[in-house]
Structure 1
Amino acid sequence: MNTPYDSLYLFIGGEWIGTEGRDTAVVVNPATETELGRVPLATASDLDRALNIAQASFDVWRRTVPDQRARILKRAADLILERAPHIAAQMTLEEGKPLGEALDEVTRAAEYFEWFAESARRIDGRVVPANRPGVLQLVKRQPIGPVAAFTPWNFPAITPARKLSAALAAGCSVILKPGEESPSTALALARALDDAGLPKGVLQIVFGVPDQVSSHLIASPIIRKVTFTGSVPIGRLLSARAAEGVKPITLELGGHGPVLVFEDADVEKAAVEGVANRFRGTGQVCISSTRFLIQRGAYQTFVERFVTATQALRIGNGLQPETQVGPLANPRQLAKMEELVADAVAKGATLLAGGKRLSGQGFFFEPTVLADVPMTARVMHEEPFGPIAILMPFDEMADGLQEANRLPYGLSAYAFTTSARTAIDVADGLEAGMIGINQYRIVATELPFGGLKESGHGSEGGVEGIEHYLTHKFISQV
C-alpha cells in the first residue's frame, strides 16, 4: 500500500508556515525506519507571534455566540469523518498503529467535536435568590482565556481532539503543541477546523523542542490555562511552571493498569479480551491493562488462554490489513522494552511469550508475557508503555486490591467477576479514575477521562470536560 505523506507546517494566525528558515525534526515511519518528512520547529519569534494572535483572537471568539461556535465544531466533525481514511493512513505512517485502530481513533476524535459542539449551547449560569430586597444575584460561566495545550505522539487524533473540542466550545483560543513524531494527524484536525470556518488565529499549531516551547508559552501572561497529556515527570515540571503564574493545569499522566480476575469470572473473556486490550497500540496506551492479577483458582486457566492468544497475534506494518500489532513508535521505546524484559528475567521472572526485538527493519518488539516477576524488577514499578504483560496470582480480594493499589498510579483499573457483591466491593476499593467491570473499553465521549494520585488531576470528556475552560463570575446588582 503506497500512501503519500502530507507536507508539514506550523499553523499560526491562519497561515500554513513551512520549513524555510527554521530548524526541522525528522519524522520517521516506525515500520520501515525511513524518513517521511521534516516538521518545522517554531522560533521564539514564532511563539511570540502565536501568543499575541491567541490574545487577539480570544477577544473575538469569546464573543462569538454559542450557536455559531457549535455550528463550526459540528462542521469540523463532519469534515474529519469525511477525511477519516486519509487521516488514519497518515497516523499509521507516522505512529505505526494498525490502520483499523487508527480509523477508530479518528472517528472517536470527530465524536468529541460533535459532543462539545452541543456543550457550547449549554454553558449556562444561575440566578441566586438574594437575602436583601431589590438585589439581583447572578453567576455566569465565561471562558478562562487563551490555552496552551500539549499532547503526545501515541494518540495523535483523539488526545488533541479532547482538548481542542472542549476549549473551543467554551470560547477559548488555543495554542497546541502536538508530539513532533506524529505531527500530520494534528495538522489534519487543524485543517478541518480551518475549513469549517474557525476564525483565523483561534487555533494555532506549533512544534519545537518540548522544554523550550512549554517554558516559553506557560511563562507568558497571555496564557490563562494549561493542559497536558504525557509522562509523570514532565507533568510535574509543567505543573510547577504553571504554578509560578498561578495558572490552572489539567494533567492526564501515566498508568500501570491492574486487572483483577476472580475465580467466578468468565476467564476466557477476561484473557482473550485482555490480550487485545494489552497489546492494542503496541501497548503504548496509558489506560492499558498491564498487571493481570488472577485469583489462584483461575490462574492456570487464565495463563494458558492468555499466552495462546498472545502468540496468535499478527505483527507487522500497520498498513497491512492482517496486522494486529504494529511497531513501537521510536527507538527509545524499543530500547526500553529490551531493558525491562532483560531486567525482569535476570531477577527471576519467567518469560512465557515474546521477549525480543524482531529482526529486520522497523521498531518491532514481540508481544511479551511475564510471570513470577519479583518486586525488585523495574517493570513492577515503572509504566511499561509497550507490549509487556505481567501475570500474577492472588488469594483473597484484600490481597488483590493491595497489589492493585500499591503503585502511585491511579488512571485505569479493571475487574472480572460474576458476583454483584464482588463487583461493588472491588470498584469501591480500586484507586483509579476509570474502572471497567467485566469489560476493557472504558472510554466514551460522554464520560470523564482522568486519573487519581500521580496519574494526574482533572477530567476530559463528558460534562466535566468543559468545566476546566470556564470561570465562574458572581454579579450582584441593585
Structure 2
Amino acid sequence: MEQRVALPSEDVNIMNNLDYPQIRHLIGKDWLASATTGDRAVINPANGVEIGRIPQATAEDLERAVRHAESAFATWKDRSPTDRGAILRRFADLLRQNDAMIARWITLDEGKPLAEALVEVRASADHVDWHAEECRRIYGRIVPSRNPTVQQLVVREPVGVCLAITPWNFPLSQAVRKVAAALASGCTMILKGPAEAPAGCLAIARFLQEAGLPEGCLNLVWGNSAFISETLIAHPVLRKITFTGSVEVGKHLAALAGRHMKRATMELGGHAPVLVFDDADAGAAARALAGNKLRNAGQVCVSPTRFFVQAGIHERFLAELVSAFQAVKVGDGLAEGTQMGPLCHAGRVTAMERLVADARDNGAEVLTGGTRIGNSGSFYAPTIVNTPDDSIALMRDEPFGPVAVVSPFREIEDGLARANGLPFGLASYIFTNSLERADRAAAGLQAGMVSINHFGLALPETPFGGVRDSGYGSEGGTETFDGYLSTKFISRNSAPVQ
C-alpha cells in the first residue's frame, strides 16, 4: 500500500487517488488529523480494500470541541431563526450541487448502490430545507392570567451544547436529522460519526462550514465511541445526547445520560413486523416488500423483517417473494445495474450466517439465498426463511441484513399478538384492502410508526421514532425540536409591589 502523506489542514478539498476524502476532526474552524497508532482503517465493503484512515480523538481534542461549542452557543442561540434558516438553506443547496461526489463517497465506504446513495443525499437536503423553514415557527404562548396585572409567558429556549452519535447505515441522512434540528433550534453540536462509513458526516461538516455556519457551532470528532460518549456525557457543559443505534448501546447511553441528568433522544433498533392479510394482492404486496426489504441490503432500522402472512395467501405470497428476491442483481454499488450492494462490513455477513444456520438447525426452510457471495467483499445473498412459528432466532433477533423471515397466521388477533411479541416498537407495516382490518391492526400494533399499503416513513415533515425498547423521542415533524428546547415559564406582575 502506498504511503499516505498528511494533507494540509486548510485544504479540505484534496482527495486521494480513489476520490475519497481524508477523514479529519473539525474543531472550531480547524481541520485536524494527527496520525496515531490507534487510527482505524476505512474499508470498501465491495472489495475489502482500505480507502482511508480514521483519526482518534484525545481527551484534549474533546475538551477543545466542548469549549468551541460552548463559546459558539453564546451567540448562536440569539441569532434569529431567519438567519439560522438562511445558513441551513445554503447548506442544502451545497448538498444538491455536490450530490454525485457525496453519493460516491457513501457507496465507497458503506456499500449501497450509487442510485440509493444519491437518493440519500437528495433526501438529506430536503430535511435540511424543512428544518430551515420550520424553525421560524418555534413559538411560545401567552397563558391568560387570573390576575389582570399579571402577564404569563411560556417561551422555548435552546438547551445548549448537544452530542450526536450517528450510525453507518445512512451515514449522511441520519446525522443530518440531528444536526439540522439542533442548529435550527439554536443549539450547537459535537457530532461523532460512524467509523465504518465516515464520509457522510465529513460532508456535513465541510459544506456547513462552506455555507457560513459560525465556527464552533458544529464540531466533528472521531474515535472510540465509549471513550467519547462517557467523556462528553459527563461534561458539565453538555446538555443533551441524541443517539441512533443498537438497543444495547442505547440503554447504556441512556443510563449515562440519566446519571448526569442530561436530555436524551434514543432511536434504537427494531424488528419490524408486516401483517399481510388474505384480502391483499399477494403479488403486489410481495414485490413491494421485496424492494423495501432489500434496500441498503436490509441494513435499515425500519426494514420489514418479520413477515406474518395470513394462511389463505401464504403460499402464493412466498412464491412471489422468492421470485422477486432471486431477480435482484447483487454487486459493487458503483457497478452499472447493481440493485443491492454488499453489507457494510464483514461482521454483518457473519451475523447473517449465524442466524440462517440457527434457522436450518431448528427446522425452518431456507427458500432462496442463505449463503455469502464470492470470496472478496461483504456480500450475502438475498435470503428468505419460512418458519411455522416463532421459535428460531430470526424471529427474536433483528437481522439487519438481506434476510426476510416469513410465517403464516390465521386471525387478526394471532397476527397482532405475534407482531407485538418482542420488546421492540419502531416501524410496522400492514397490507390489506379492508379499511376495517387496517384500522384494527394499526390501533393494535405497538409501534411508533405504522405504514399501510405503502412505505410512508421518514419524511421531513413527519415524526420518526419508536416506543418500548426502540427508544424515545422523535426526529422529523414539528416534534423534532422538542428534544433541543427547554420550556420556561415567566410570570410578571406590572402592578407596584405593596
SS of the residue corresponding to residue 339 of structure 1 reads helix
How much does 1:442 deviate?
1.9
1:242 counterpart (243, 257, 276): 257
Separation of aligned partners in 2, 1:341 and 1:159: 29
1:74 corresponds to 2:89: yes
1:162 corresponds to 2:212: no
How much does 1:22 deviate?
7.0
Separation of aligned partners in 1, 2:316 and 2:377: 34
- Asked if the contact 1:74–1:117 (Cα under 8 Å) also holds between the matched residues in 2, the reply is yes
1:190 corresponds to which residue? 205
- Asked if the contact 2:65–2:190 (Cα under 8 Å) also holds between the matched residues in 1, the reply is yes
1:203 counterpart (201, 208, 218): 218
2:105 counterpart (90, 95, 101): 90
2:68 corresponds to which residue? 53
How much does 1:374 deviate?
4.8
2:343 corresponds to which residue? 328
Separation of aligned partners in 2, 1:344 and 1:169: 47
Q: TM-score, normalised by structure 1?
A: 0.98
1:143 corresponds to which residue? 158
User: What value does the CA root-mean-square deviation take over the aligned residues?
Assistant: 1.1
Separation of aligned partners in 2, 1:408 and 1:21: 41
How much does 1:8 deviate?
1.1
Please tell me the residue identity of whatever aligns with 1:43: T
Separation of aligned partners in 2, 1:145 and 1:15: 22
Please tell me the residue identity of whatever aligns with 2:160: G
2:397 counterpart (371, 382, 403): 382
1:351 corresponds to 2:366: yes
Range 236-245 or range 21-30, more displaced: 21-30
2:120 corresponds to which residue? 105
- Asked if the contact 2:18–2:51 (Cα under 8 Å) also holds between the matched residues in 1, the reply is no
SS of the residue corresponding to residue 465 of structure 1 reads helix
How much does 1:19 deviate?
3.1
Alignment CA distance shift 1:373-1:87 (3 Å): farther
Deviations 1:386-441 (A, max 9, x none): 11101111110001111111000100100111111111111101111111100124
Q: Structure 2 matches for 1:29-68, cutoff 5 A? A: 29-68=44-83
2:290 counterpart (275, 281, 284): 275
- Asked if the contact 2:36–2:55 (Cα under 8 Å) also holds between the matched residues in 1, the reply is no
Alignment CA distance shift 1:280-1:181 (3 Å): same
Deviations 1:38-65 (A, max 9, x none): 0111111000111111111111110111
Separation of aligned partners in 1, 2:248 and 2:36: 33
SS of the residue corresponding to residue 104 of structure 2 reads helix
Alignment CA distance shift 1:373-1:45 (3 Å): farther
1:6 corresponds to which residue? 21
How much does 1:269 deviate?
1.5
2:270 corresponds to which residue? 255
- Asked if the contact 1:327–1:362 (Cα under 8 Å) also holds between the matched residues in 2, the reply is yes
SS of the residue corresponding to residue 224 of structure 1 reads strand
Structure 1 gaps of 5+ residues are none
Please tell me the residue identity of whatever aligns with 1:444: L
How much does 1:133 deviate?
2.2
- Asked if the contact 2:388–2:408 (Cα under 8 Å) also holds between the matched residues in 1, the reply is no
SS of the residue corresponding to residue 240 of structure 1 reads helix
2:230 corresponds to which residue? 215
Separation of aligned partners in 2, 1:441 and 1:363: 30
1:451 counterpart (466, 479, 482): 466
Range 413-422 or range 440-449, more displaced: 440-449
- Asked if the contact 2:242–2:266 (Cα under 8 Å) also holds between the matched residues in 1, the reply is yes
Please tell me the residue identity of whatever aligns with 2:290: V
SS of the residue corresponding to residue 476 of structure 2 reads coil
Please tell me the residue identity of whatever aligns with 1:289: P
1:19 corresponds to 2:34: yes
How much does 1:129 deviate?
1.4
Alignment CA distance shift 1:76-1:274 (3 Å): same
SS of the residue corresponding to residue 265 of structure 1 reads coil
- Asked if the contact 1:143–1:471 (Cα under 8 Å) also holds between the matched residues in 2, the reply is yes
SS of the residue corresponding to residue 64 of structure 2 reads helix
Separation of aligned partners in 2, 1:247 and 1:290: 33
Please tell me the residue identity of whatever aligns with 2:366: L
Deviations 1:91-132 (A, max 9, x none): 000000001111101111111110110122111111111111
Please tell me the residue identity of whatever aligns with 2:426: L
SS of the residue corresponding to residue 181 of structure 2 reads helix
Please tell me the residue identity of whatever aligns with 1:447: T
1:434 corresponds to which residue? 449
- Asked if the contact 1:24–1:39 (Cα under 8 Å) also holds between the matched residues in 2, the reply is yes
Deviations 1:347-367 (A, max 9, x none): 111010000111221000001
Separation of aligned partners in 2, 1:44 and 1:15: 17
Separation of aligned partners in 2, 1:34 and 1:22: 19
1:313 corresponds to which residue? 328
Deviations 1:140-192 (A, max 9, x none): 11101100110011110110010000110000000010111111111101111
Separation of aligned partners in 2, 1:47 and 1:402: 46
Structure 2 gaps of 5+ residues are 1-16, 494-498
1:116 corresponds to which residue? 131
Separation of aligned partners in 2, 1:9 and 1:54: 17
1:460 corresponds to 2:475: yes
- Asked if the contact 1:128–1:137 (Cα under 8 Å) also holds between the matched residues in 2, the reply is yes
1:227 corresponds to 2:247: no
1:475 corresponds to 2:487: no
SS of the residue corresponding to residue 409 of structure 1 reads coil
1:366 corresponds to which residue? 381
Separation of aligned partners in 2, 1:355 and 1:167: 42
Q: TM-score, normalised by structure 2?
A: 0.94
Separation of aligned partners in 2, 1:42 and 1:3: 25
Deviations 1:54-99 (A, max 9, x none): 1111111101111100100011001011111100000000000001
SS of the residue corresponding to residue 480 of structure 2 reads coil
Alignment CA distance shift 1:56-1:298 (3 Å): same
Separation of aligned partners in 2, 1:292 and 1:372: 10
1:134 corresponds to which residue? 149
Separation of aligned partners in 1, 2:143 and 2:152: 5
